[in-house]
Amino acid sequence: MCEFLSPCAQLTPKGYYSHDTPTPFPREDIVKDKKRQKIVQELCKSYNMEIETVVNYLANSVWLDGIRAKHIKDSLAAEVTSELGHAQLLANRIKVLDGRVPGSQALAWTQTFMQPPEKSIDYRAVIKGVVQAEEGAIKQYQKIIELCDVYDPVTQDLCVELKGDEEEHRRLFKGYLAEAESM
Ligand SMILES: [Fe+2]
Ligand SMILES: [Fe+2]
């Protein structure tokens, strides 16, 4: 027995110490529930980011003008579908984990860097915004992957897959950025 516990402290069948006074060791089910709540909270944050990305990629895919913007517009239009698919997968996982999927009133809009630029031919600003948005998504998925470790492999698998998608998006737009900056 641990020397810091009084003699009356005993191991319960679950392996925790029972005592006359409240135990300093949190019960396993409480710890797991707090972990689940934290995972749901972070999934909701990713969901928010995906929805905002859909809104901004859609706007920029229509707003840009010029022959050089053509590929950017086409890629953004394709990614609207991809990001919406991510949001659907996240919403489903939030529901499975007994969370409530946020509606529009519960969403926060933070992508100041992804607003359609004043000049519709400023495709460089959009490319930079996309790279920043993808990096934000990658960082958030990595956070969930680490949070889920051991505890929730299913959510972890989902976030590994989504992180891989975002890394491909980032690579594509980094290529566009390299080309744009060499002109
Ligand atoms: Fe995404
Ligand atoms: Fe993406």
Residue 33 C-alpha to ligand 2 middle, in angstroms?
A: 30
Non-local (6+) Cβ contacts of 122 within 8 A are none
Residue 112 C-alpha to ligand 2 middle, in angstroms?
A: 17
Strand partners, 10: 18
Q: Name the phi and psi angles at 10, rounded to 5.
A: -135, 155
What integer pLDDT is reported at residue 30 of this predicted model?
79
The answer as to CATH 1.20.1260.10 being correct for domain 28-181 is yes
Q: What is the arithmetic mean of pLDDT over 95-115?
A: 97
How long, in residues, is the chain? 183
H or E segment to which residue 18 belongs: strand 17-18
Could you report the per-residue pLDDT of 52-103, keeping only the tens digit for each? 999 999 999 999 999 989 999 999 999 999 999 999 999 999 999 999 999 9
Q: What rounded mean pLDDT belongs to the chain? A: 89
Is it the case that residue 3 has pLDDT exceeding 80?
no
Ligand nearest to the CA of 87: 1
